[in-house]
A = this chain, B = another copy of it.
Amino acid sequence: MSEMLEVPKLSFAGKVARLGTRLKDPQWRRYGLQLAAGKFLGLALLMAIVVLCSVGPSVLFGTPAHAQQAAAVPSTAPSMVMTADLTDIAKNPVINPLNTLWTLLGAFLVFGMQAGFTMLEAGFCRSRETVNVLVECVFDTCLCGILYWAWGYAFMFGAGNGFIGWHDPNSADTNWFFLQGITAMTLYGATGVPVLAHWLFQFAFADCASTICSGTMIGRTAFWGDILYSVCVSGFIYPIIGHWAWGPDGFLVTMGSPDHFLSGLGMFFHDFAGSTVVHSIGGWIALAGGIILGPRLGRKFKRDGGGPMLPHDLTIAVVGGLILWFGWYGFNPGSTLSAMDMGGIARVAANTTLASCAGGLVAVFIGYGMNKKWDAGFITNGFLAGLVAITASCYWVSPFGSVMLGGIGGALVILATEVLEYFRIDDPVGAWPVHGVNGIWGTLSIGFFASGEYNIAGSSNTGTPIVAAGEGLKGLFYGGGMQVLKAQCVGSLIVCAATFIIALIMFKVIDVVGLLRISREGEIEGMDLHEHGISAYPEYVIAASFAPAGMKPESVNVPAGSPMAVPAAAH
């Protein structure tokens, strides 16, 4: 809100207006895409250089910019009321139950996002692939629950080393596979919250990451392929890479402290509620899947005179988006794991709202500038982009910063959609623009917008803040220099690059064994009839023009081969 910031604000608005005008001109559009591609390349290079520069001195000298090793701060300690009695559980026996209630409420809301994801994906796809979306989303949830119980949670939140965890942080002899050895008395780290509540909250997060991947892969992924990659994602990629950033001893958590990774950097990686851990991981796996799969049959891209395939039910899609927004109030505020931090939960909730509002408005106005239409898909993906962007930074930025970074998210999602179109990648719901790109932007945004008012460690999903209370996290725009931005670049680059490369290999292997994509015949018949034996709307008459090239028109969408087929439908 300071005057210093008024200039970039106006400048940003001006750029948006100019962008709108220019995007209407085909020549400018071509130029813009080249520019964007160049900027993306440059950004990647910058991030790489930042990493190298940071690594260099630290490897050579090992002198941290400032000491970070400090006693753990119980996240049950509120930031506002600081009486010594507070941590005395005998005098305040209600604190842990209150925080447990808050964590569980967060878990419930995040779980509720599954309804939103399912609606969003189902609504944005064609009716012929809708049942596949439905079954896939539910299957993923069920699978993720079992895997997260079996070993996912142990890998991610167990103690171990910087790369993977497996055991109770308080007892090296007790591994957490199958949640064994956990009783009602086992609390997670310093949070005061029972491990089983933390498990539920984190399962809901893992489930989101897993569901995000499926969005890009709609309409052509064989169900056995779905199962295989979901086992890899929910069972290995997400929990192990997640451990790096959120595990009690993950190397991005301990980064910058003496004798750890990049000790010279003097700053660890911040991701409050998962712009990187949940959204970047999900979004970059999605992109890898979309690349290996190739587009759906009949999908023509803009440069080839086509455009995205039409959604089949915008009502379901947009309402799904709103339910996601609703669930985000568990995602971000719940990530304090503590209602005692009442200033924190209020700020996080308000910032989340403002970023979403700004993202939606910016995206719909850009869309109007481009097409003179108020686009339902743009405004929905716009506010979702704002939500993804604020997810990492919600604890440390001001309401003003939230509006700024959410608005930028709304612009990025449209730019990234054009990039996908340019590279002929078919992403039916825009999972990579929303989650992959804005996951990175949200993570980096801390480095720009962290206002310096709030604790470096804050509360966190890990329950293990390693920095003394009182110091504020300060980004570039608030006079904090490059340090935080560097740490964010390092973390985001490592996570995204590792995820993307591993995912490419995984999908290629599944593809080579012939399980990733359904047969051409199956795709022409329709995912739903082929894999699931039924159409989502057996009674509705569907227009033939939405069949992919080479398919016979279907005037009535009756799944004749279905085991559940009603007799009357068979004649």
Neighbouring B residues of A118 by C-beta, 8 Å: 318-319, 322
Neighbouring B residues of A325 by C-beta, 8 Å: 111, 114
Cβ contact within 8 Å between B350 and A196: yes
In the complex the two chains form, what is the Cα distance from A141 to B322 in whole Å?
A: 10
Cβ contact within 8 Å between B542 and A539: yes
Cβ contact within 8 Å between A399 and B178: yes
Cβ contact within 8 Å between B101 and A93: no
Contacts A135-B364, A313-B315 given; indicate if A358 touches B146 (C-beta within 8 A). Answer: yes
In the complex the two chains form, what is the Cα distance from A360 to B143 in whole Å?
A: 9
Neighbouring B residues of A556 by C-beta, 8 Å: 543, 545
Tell me which residues from 523 to 560 in chain A have a Cβ below 8 Å from any Cβ of chain B: 531-534, 536-543, 545-549, 556-559
Residue in contact with A305 in the complex, picked from B100, B311, B329, B567, CB distance below 8 Å: B567
In the complex, residue of chain B having the shortest beta-carbon distance to the beta carbon of A329: B108
Q: Which of A78-86, A284-292, A502-510 participates in binding chain B?
A: A78-86
Q: Which of A242-250, A271-279, A341-349 participates in binding chain B?
A: A341-349
Cβ contact within 8 Å between A353 and B203: yes
Neighbouring B residues of A114 by C-beta, 8 Å: 322, 325-326
Residue in contact with A346 in the complex, picked from B108, B126, B196, CB distance below 8 Å: B196
User: Within the complex, what minimum Cβ distance (angstroms) separates A209 from chain B?
Assistant: 16
Asked if A565 is an interface residue, CB under 8 A from chain B, the answer is: yes
Asked if A434 is an interface residue, CB under 8 A from chain B, the answer is: no
Cβ contact within 8 Å between B100 and A375: no
Cβ contact within 8 Å between A94 and B96: no
In the complex the two chains form, what is the Cα distance from A101 to B103 in whole Å?
A: 11
Asked if A361 is an interface residue, CB under 8 A from chain B, the answer is: yes
Contacts A139-B360, A345-B101 given; indicate if A115 touches B323 (C-beta within 8 A). Answer: yes
Neighbouring B residues of A38 by C-beta, 8 Å: none
Tell me which residues from 122 to 168 in chain A have a Cβ below 8 Å from any Cβ of chain B: 122-123, 126-127, 130-131, 134-135, 137-139, 141-146, 149
Cβ contact within 8 Å between B318 and A356: no
User: Within the complex, what minimum Cβ distance (angstroms) separates A547 from chain B?
Assistant: 7
In the complex the two chains form, what is the Cα distance from A191 to B340 in whole Å?
A: 16
Cβ contact within 8 Å between A533 and B375: yes
Which 8 A-B residue pairings sit nearest by Cβ, starting from the closest? A184-B343, A145-B357, A373-B533, A197-B346, A142-B360, A194-B346, A196-B346, A100-B342
Contacts A89-B81, A95-B94, A536-B313 given; indicate if A200 touches B318 (C-beta within 8 A). Answer: no
Neighbouring B residues of A98 by C-beta, 8 Å: 94, 97-98, 101, 339
Q: Which of A14-22, A61-69, A251-259, A376-384 participates in binding chain B?
A: A376-384
Cβ contact within 8 Å between A78 and B102: no
Neighbouring B residues of A123 by C-beta, 8 Å: 315
Cβ contact within 8 Å between A383 and B94: no
In the complex, residue of chain B having the shortest beta-carbon distance to the beta carbon of A367: B563
Asked if A306 is an interface residue, CB under 8 A from chain B, the answer is: yes
Cβ contact within 8 Å between A361 and B142: yes
Asked if A171 is an interface residue, CB under 8 A from chain B, the answer is: no
Instruction: Offer 23 A-B interface pairs, CB within 8 angstroms, sorted by A.
Output: A1-B180, A81-B90, A86-B93, A107-B329, A111-B325, A119-B319, A138-B321, A139-B361, A142-B364, A142-B379, A143-B361, A146-B358, A149-B399, A184-B342, A184-B346, A184-B454, A194-B346, A197-B350, A200-B350, A314-B534, A314-B536, A541-B542, A546-B569
User: Within the complex, what minimum Cβ distance (angstroms) separates A493 from chain B?
Assistant: 31
In the complex the two chains form, what is the Cα distance from A268 to B2 in whole Å?
A: 40
Asked if A481 is an interface residue, CB under 8 A from chain B, the answer is: no
Residue in contact with A376 in the complex, picked from B79, B108, B532, CB distance below 8 Å: B532
Cβ contact within 8 Å between B90 and A92: no
User: Within the complex, what minimum Cβ distance (angstroms) separates A110 from chain B?
Assistant: 10
Could you give, for residues 293-319 of chain A, a 1 whenever the CB lies within 8 Å of some chain B CB and a 0 otherwise? Answer: 000001010000111111111111011
